């Protein structure tokens, strides 16, 4: 059991059963939980031949830090993809890809929220540097509500070099910075795009900024000077989605 991870929450466990059932080794339900959402889990577990057991809620409370909703699963270790996955994804993608880069986002709650938003907005993958970045864990999966099992999370050793390779493949690198002259809504995001969001509080690192083709900012009308990185990511990704559905930024 020491080699297994504990994933918790109905959405996260259901997503694993739907998309990666072989990773699920055991499911635990809180005693007395027998509602329709649990029935869905039981059906999926039966199809995947995954054992389901029961235990007391207080025992679950000791297993995980967070709201487990009476559902915990023992699963094989999380998978973070290597850089080769990017080439494979791009090779088989039709149309203009949209990639999200999180440059040094260390809060697992923010990573989970960004994964959820990236999946909802149709991003191809989320890229993070291997060092000084949050990675997949139970908290990330819980916050992502299943998106962590669907959208690839790619960890790269050298982010600047990876951005250069993406540029060579014809993708435009768009970074977000509060001091940028161009606003997000003025920039065309319908082409092959890599959107970069900086770390909480610090923004993008210098080398990352130097590899950007464009810098954009969010217009701020109130008294605050910036948004939480997961909120800003949502605004940017859904502007890209809006433009792509409209066929261009001015429509």
Domain ranges (residues) in the chain: 5-75, 84-246
State how far the Cα of 115 lies from the Cα of 125, in Å rounded to an integer: 9
Per-residue pLDDT of the chain (251 residues; tens, 9 = 90+): 447 888 888 888 888 898 888 889 999 999 888 888 889 999 999 999 999 999 988 899 888 877 888 999 998 876 788 888 888 889 989 899 999 999 999 999 999 999 999 999 999 999 999 988 998 888 898 888 888 888 999 999 999 999 999 999 999 999 999 889 999 999 999 999 999 999 877 889 999 999 999 999 999 887 776 789 999 999 999 999 999 999 855 54
State the architecture of 5-75 in CATH terms. Answer: 2-Layer Sandwich (3.30)
Q: How far apart are CA 179 and CA 146, in angstroms?
A: 35
- CA pair distance 234, 199, nearest whole angstrom: 15
Q: What angle do CA 127, 131, 135 make, to 5 degrees?
A: 60
Could you give the CA distance from residue 13 to residue 71 in angstroms, rounded to a whole number?
A: 8
pTM of the model: 0.79
CB-based contact 12:79 (threshold 8 Å):
no
Q: Which residues contact 192 (CB under 8 A, 6 or more apart)?
A: 96, 97, 169, 170, 171, 172
* Superfamily of segment(s) 84-246: SPOUT methyltransferase, trefoil knot domain (3.40.1280.10)
């Amino acid at each position: 059991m020491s080699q297994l991870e504990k994933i918790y929450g109905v959405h996260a466990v259901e997503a694993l059963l739907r998309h990666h059932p072989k990773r699920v080794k055991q499911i635990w339900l809180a005693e007395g939980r027998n509602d329709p959402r649990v029935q869905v889990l039981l059906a999926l577990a039966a199809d995947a031949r995954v054992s389901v057991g029961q235990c007391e809620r207080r025992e679950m409370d000791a297993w995980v830090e967070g709201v487990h909703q009476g559902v915990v699963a023992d699963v094989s270790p999380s998978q973070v993809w290597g850089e080769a996955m990017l080439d494979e994804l791009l090779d088989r993608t039709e149309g203009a890809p949209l990639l999200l880069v999180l440059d040094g986002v260390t809060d697992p709650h923010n990573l989970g929220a960004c994964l959820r938003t990236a999946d909802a907005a149709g991003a191809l993958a989320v890229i993070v540097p291997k060092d000084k970045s949050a990675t997949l864990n139970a908290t990330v999966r819980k916050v992502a509500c299943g998106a962590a099992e669907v959208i690839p999370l790619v960890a790269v050793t050298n982010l600047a070099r990876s951005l250069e390779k993406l540029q060579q493949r014809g993708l435009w690198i768009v970074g977000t910075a509060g001091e940028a002259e161009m606003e997000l809504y003025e920039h065309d995001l319908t082409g092959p795009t890599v959107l970069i969001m900086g770390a909480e509080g610090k923004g993008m690192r210098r080398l990352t900024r130097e590899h950007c083709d464009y810098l954009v900012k969010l217009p701020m009308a109130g008294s605050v000077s910036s948004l939480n990185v997961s909120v800003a990511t949502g605004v940017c990704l859904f502007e890209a989605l809006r433009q792509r559905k409209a066929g261009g930024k001015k429509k």
